[in-house]
Amino acid sequence: MTAAADVVVVGGGVVGMTAALALQARGARVTVLAADDPADTVSTVAAAVWYPSHTDEDPRVLRWAWETRAELGRQAAAGVPGVVERPTRMLLRRPHAGPPWWAPACPDLVAEPAPPPYTGQLRFTAPTVEMTPYLAWLRQRLTAGGGQLLRRRVRRLADAFDTAPTLVNATGLAAGRLAADPAVHPVRGHVVLVANPGLTVSVRDEDDPAGITYVHPRRHDVVLGGTYQPGVAHTAPDPDTAAAIRRRCVALVPELAAAPVRGERIGLRPARHGGPRVEVDPAGPPGGRLVHAYGHGGAGVTLSWGCAAEVAELALGG
């Protein structure tokens, strides 16, 4: 079959869509194959706040985070739908041992005292992204640039090479099966959405002994979280967990006490032991090129644009 594109990206979440746009910016004809509409991917469940949560220190990851932070800042200034810069407070329960490894990506980060039970807090500005309008914007940019997004469930990566000679595997959790990678595993995340009573500052307490706790305001609601449950693969509602999340968040930000609940979201973060896999597969097909881009866990938005730039370099030969 004659290839209809230069590169096919398999996966329509934020990692796949940003990779597609980075490829398109370098002149490639791009087709995205997605099992689900981008609006129905796990990316839409994310609180989508720039922060390398549960990501190990690594110079490559720091570069991706820095580049993504800069790009999202430019997008916020340009009025891209869903992207807003917000002040952030990160409360600490352990002695502050100096700036975190990701601090170079946050030029305005400062450490300040905080009342007990906290030992201090970090203040910085971070982009937040409302994923439903943002994914729609990414899709519009793809099609405006001549690319296309097709609804197609890929059973084997080899089957997608009929679309293009170069393939980017951005399939998230499905990469465990499609790339035969046992390091891929789900991490269940649960958030509660409440009406926004006027909050503008994000607050997080990741070391809360009762569970990871964060409050992320958006235009019309507030994302309350959350859970981080490695290996848990179901997305069934859990009223007890939702109630516990709300209690922790109200204790953290009392202004939320009377905020009516708007809903809840449950999704499976596509994590990988050893961190994200972003590389050319030496076992790719003869005459073709296979680039993997999966395993970003809960940091897909945080690493997206930086990772996309590297994917484009790998896919197009540097």
What pLDDT is attached to residue 2? 42
What pLDDT is attached to residue 18? 98
What pLDDT is attached to residue 58? 95
pTM for the model stands at 0.94
Closest CA to 280 of 271, 267, 289: 289
Residue 100 vs residues 41, 128, 209, 303: alpha-carbon distances, Å: 31, 20, 20, 17
Q: Token digits for 103?
A: 């601090």
* Rounded-to-integer distance, Cα 203 and Cα 315, Å: 38
Specify the residue for token string 């790009």.
71
What single-letter DSSP state applies at residue 276?
-
What pLDDT is attached to residue 38? 72
What single-letter DSSP state applies at residue 285?
P
Specify the residue for token string 């891929």.
184
Closest CA to 18 of 312, 292, 299: 312
List the helix and strand counts (H, then E) for the chain: 6, 15
What pLDDT is attached to residue 43? 66
The SS3 of residue 38 is: helix
Instruction: For the chain, 318 residues long, give each residue's pLDDT as a single digit of tens.
Output: 345 799 999 999 999 999 999 999 999 999 999 988 776 676 677 778 999 989 999 999 999 999 999 999 999 999 999 999 999 999 999 988 899 999 999 999 999 999 999 999 999 999 999 999 999 999 999 999 999 999 999 999 999 999 999 999 999 999 999 999 999 999 999 999 999 999 999 999 999 999 999 999 998 899 999 999 999 999 999 999 999 999 999 999 999 999 999 999 999 999 999 999 999 999 888 889 999 999 999 999 999 999 999 999 999 985
Q: Parallel, antiparallel, or unpaired: how do β-strands 166-169 and 83-92 relate?
A: unpaired
What pLDDT is attached to residue 67? 98
Closest CA to 121 of 216, 204, 57, 212: 204
Closest CA to 251 of 83, 96, 68, 118: 118
